[in-house]
Structure 1
């Protein structure tokens, strides 16, 4: 009797411990897994969730009832749970008895070594924590199951917004697998697919919510994760995986960079732009190149530092805290000045000039280029008025990004400026730059027509650098095109190139469009573009950008006579 009571007591204690463990988790279906991941206990709404009764699940391994594409992820999550003691919530799908996939199911759980090294797992009908539009827009790399760059940036933004309520801190890790392409070429398709699926599972399992990781390009991978994730161990596991899969046994060298990726009270729209910019700069290893001295060195918090740069940039732009310089465009062959192009000049906190191309890239990638373009328009119209009062009637061209010309708020603001400054319109021109491609040609054409109604002439900048230029030329009503200087330099090296350039100039003339040659720096280049038929030229041969145009402009008359 004593032995029977002792056995009964042990059984009751085990039951108590089991349900105590299950109290740590919650869900519609509760599972206990042994060390071999075999289901030793199941209770709950298994039928409705995965089409099997709870009793039918017992004795099966968890992997055998999971959909194949989720097995590597769950395997890795359980591996992580052995070390951390718990498994973060992830979404999985099961194979139903009719071979169909179940609906998405959320899985979370604990590993308790004191209870026989068993796992205690809760399953529930998935409640997608991401907004519907974000979840629906996610695109994935087929080989790894990881998100692409833009999808990852959107999901990271949502996770950072959620962290404000939880107070969690996150880091972002970038892994670059050096010599990855040669490795893939050495492998058979099946082995390569298995390796990529494993890498994807490793990264997802260690990321926030089990799915905040992405393949950013061929050999670069990024993930948002908690600070306690052992990045070094993960790096070693990926290296081991690659080496084991490599027929030559070489594998890859992995370069890892980690930065904080938390967010203060940043507006959601600004945060989304800052996250995408930060990820791209982090991948390029140029993440700290532009920042008014805030992103120099290894930034402790990339998103917040990027946002600080955005705020600083916005403040300088809105308050017109930047310089403007003017470069002459001359008529050929006389070299008489026709107009000036106005260019912005920004300086960092140490007074060093920030390269314009880096500045424009920053402004476009964080969706602030329209603010710079509008500020330049405001500043230029004020400058024109001041010049007219001094008796200087020089014409000036302002650069407007392709991004801005598609922004209705920007265009409406420009129209309002034109309405208030009608007496200066005769001196204003607009150059549409193609650092960002115009996607909505019809909308751009409508706004350009409205600008031209004020007497503003339009120039297409950097013509010749892309096939889209010809689409613009046929669809947009413009007065000038400016041929990219590098295109001219390459074309004029051969007779065939000169013939092509002449044909391009002749085409523009047939369309009643005049043509400007950029980056003319020698007399020989001036002579060649003149022979080809260019109408105007710009370059250091005729003058560098200067703050004071009276260094070039002599056509000053007495304003009192007018």
Structure 2
């Protein structure tokens, strides 16, 4: 009899352990609650979730551990579970020591009246779950199943925010499969699809949550992962896989670069912009180098160094800590100065000029160009006022990015600024620049119309360099267009090109838009654009950008 009891006891214990093990497949912490929601049993990782060891939980009211905002929800769900028998998966957070909140926790449970009207609850840390808006916006590379560049940046941002709450460290690896693209092109479709899927599976399996890897180009792949992932082993496995799939048995060489991706104090909004820029910068870091202090060379932590540059850039912009220079635009054919274009100048920590093109690209990619544009308006309206007080009437054109015209906060701030400085608006012009395409043309056109109502003339920069410019000209009311110097040089090489340029100028004149020729550096170019009907010209032939605008009329007072 004793043997039977002992055997039965062992069997029951094994069965209990088996069910407990199965429960831990889903949950990190298992709890049994009595009918009053007090904890009678706890097993698992309670320290990280509830901030107490399992043996300290017995007799404690379960709902007292919840963050206050989740207590009504969980209490109601438990009451519902008493009726329905189960509690569906919900996400909650717990209050820990020092008023810190736990990471997001998924909670599921059952109510079993046959076992003393007790609740059985499983909790699982849900740091890898994505918000519905992020999950719904994800786009993938069809061939590999990996995230595309923007989707990867969104998911990485979410993982980095979660990492703050858990203290987990992550690294980001850029993996290049050299000569992978030509290999794929010479493979049969079926074999190529299998290879692409295999490469995608390798990277996803080693990434955070099994889905924080992306395809960043034909041969470039990125992956956020734990520090203990053996990147060297992964490289070798991918090389073997590709070599086996290559009809010639050659394969590819896989090279990797690893950087830290952490986010210690970066606000989520800035983090999202910084991650996307960092990923892009990481892909072409050998060829691109915008920096104020830390973005040159191989940064140890690319996200944090990007954020440092964002902070530095924002500080300099908001405090107007940059220089401006002025380049004349002259009326043809007599070359009398009509107005000046204002150009911004930033310098790095060593005093070297940062190329303006790199500066604007950085500002646009981290969504900060509107702050620069607003700062330039502030600075130049103040400068115009000081010139008027000195008896100098001079018009200046301030560059505004097309991105800023799609930003309602910028446009409302600009309108408020104009309203406070009405006496200076007769001397202010705006040049709309397009380093990247304006997506919402209708919104941009409405704001331009508001600016023009205040007496501000508008110039469309780089006209004729793309099909989108004609859409802008048709949708926006502007006063001038500026044609890029390289486009002029190419057109003027042939009779057909010259005829095209004359037709373009005539088209603008028909709709009462005047035309500026840019980068005019020789008398021959001046003569060509004058014959083509250009109204204005800009370039070194007429004057370089100067910080002191009075250099242009110290000996020519009639030009005032």
Fold shared, TM-score > 0.5 on shorter chain: yes
Deviations 1:112-167 (A, max 9, x none): xxxxxxxxxx999x998111100000011111111100001001111111111101
Match for residue 486 of structure 1?
A: 486
- State how far apart, in whole Å, the 2-side matches of 1:162 and 1:207 are: 15
Q: What's the secondary structure of 2:482's corresponding residue?
A: strand
What is the CA deviation profile of residues 417-437 of structure 1, one whole-angstrom value per residue up to 9, with x for unaligned ones? 111111111111000001122
- Aligned ranges for residues 453-464 of structure 1 at < 5 Å? 453-464=453-464
Cα distance in 2 for residues equivalent to 1:21 and 1:449:
68
* Structure 2 unmatched runs, 5+: 29-105, 107-121
Q: 1:291 to 1:503 in 2, by over 3 A?
A: same
How much does 1:441 deviate? 1.7
TM-superposed CA distance for 1:558, in Å, is 13
Q: In 2 relative to 1, CA 427–556 (structure 1 residues): closer, same or farther, beyond 3 Å? A: farther
Tell me the CA shift for residue 285 of structure 1: 2.2
Corresponding residue number in structure 2 for 1:224: 224
3-state DSSP class of the match of 1:25?
A: helix
> Which consecutive unaligned segments of at least 5 residues does structure 1 have?
29-105, 107-121
For 1:182-193, list aligned pairs within 5 A: 182-193=182-193
Of 507-516 and 279-288, the range deviating more from structure 2: 279-288
What do the CA deviations read for 1:345-367 (whole angstroms, capped 9, x no partner)? 00000000000000000000000
Q: State how far apart, in whole Å, the 1-side matches of 2:472 and 2:16 are.
A: 74
**1:469 maps onto 2:430 in alignment:** no
* SS state at 1:387 partner: helix
- Number of the residue aligned with 1:507: 507
Q: Retained in 1: the 8 A contact 2:324–2:344?
A: yes
The Cα offsets for residues 268-313 of structure 1, whole Å up to 9 and x where unpaired, read as 1110000000011111225871121211221111111000000000
Superposition TM-score, scaled by structure 1 size: 0.78
Is the CA contact 1:174–1:256 (under 8 Å) kept in the aligned structure 2?
A: yes
The one-character-per-residue Cα deviations of 1:160-190 (angstroms, maximum 9, x if unpaired) are 1111110111110111111112101221111
What is aligned with 2:548? 548
Instruction: Kindly tell me the number of residue pairs found equivalent between the two proteins.
Output: 466
1:61 equivalent in structure 2: none
C-alpha separation in 1, matches of 2:513 and 2:558: 30
Superimposed CA distance per residue, residues 379-432 of structure 1 (whole angstroms, 9 cap, x where no aligned partner): 001111111122221110000000001111111111111111111111110000
Moved more, 306-315 or 10-19: 10-19
Equivalent position SS for 1:399: strand
Q: Contact between 2:430 and 2:456, CA under 8 Å: does it hold in 1?
A: yes
1:338 paired to 2:338: yes
- Structure-2-length-normalised TM-score: 0.79
Secondary structure of the 1:516 match is: strand
Alignment map for 1:43-442 (pairs within 5 Å): 129-286=129-286, 289-442=289-442
Separation in structure 2 between the aligned mates of residue 239 and residue 4 of structure 1, nearest angstrom: 58
Query: What does residue range 434-453 of structure 1 map to in structure 2 within 5 Å?
Result: 434-453=434-453
8 Å contact kept, 2:459–2:479: yes
**CA–CA distance in structure 2, aligned partners of residues 522 and 502 of structure 1:** 19
- Given that 1:457 and 1:479 are in contact with CA atoms closer than 8 Å, whether structure 2 keeps it comes out as yes
Q: Which deviates the most, 387-396 or 510-519?
A: 387-396
Post-superposition offset of 1:217? 1.7
Give the secondary structure class of the aligned counterpart of 2:145. coil
Q: Does the CA-based 8 Å contact 1:288-1:295 persist in structure 2?
A: no
Moved more, 9-18 or 540-549: 9-18
Contact 1:392–1:556, Cα closer than 8 Å, also in 2:
no
Q: Distance in 2 between matches of 1:243 and 1:14?
A: 48
Cα deviation digits, residues 522-560 of structure 1 (max 9, x gap): 11111111111111111111111110111113565899x
Which has the higher mean CA deviation after the structures are superposed, 417-426 or 131-140?
Answer: 417-426
Deviations 1:32-83 (A, max 9, x none): xxxxxxxxxxxxxxxxxxxxxxxxxxxxxxxxxxxxxxxxxxxxxxxxxxxx
Distance in structure 2 (CA, Å) of the matches to 1:267 and 1:169: 18
Task: State whether residues 127 and 162 of structure 2, in contact with CA within 8 Å, keep that contact through their aligned partners in structure 1.
Answer: no
Provide the alpha-carbon RMSD of the alignment.
Answer: 2.8
| Distance in 2 of aligned mates of 1:127 and 1:231 | 24
In structure 2, how many angstroms separate the alpha carbons of the residues matched to 1:237 and 1:123? Answer: 36
Query: Which shifted more, 292-301 or 394-403?
Result: 292-301
Q: Following the alignment from structure 2 to structure 1, what is the Cα–Cα distance between the partners of residues 239 and 543?
A: 56
1:450 positional shift: 1.1
Deviation at 1:330, TM superposition (A): 0.8
Aligned counterparts of 1:440 and 1:288: Cα–Cα separation in 2? 29
> How far 1:26 sits from its partner (Å)?
2.9
Distance (whole Å) between structure 2 residues aligned to residue 549 and residue 240 of structure 1: 65
Is the Cα contact below 8 Å between 1:288 and 1:297 reproduced in 2?
no
Q: Distance in 2 between matches of 1:393 and 1:127?
A: 61
SS in 1 for 2:172: strand
Q: Distance in 1 between matches of 2:422 and 2:27?
A: 68
Counterpart in the other structure of 2:88: none
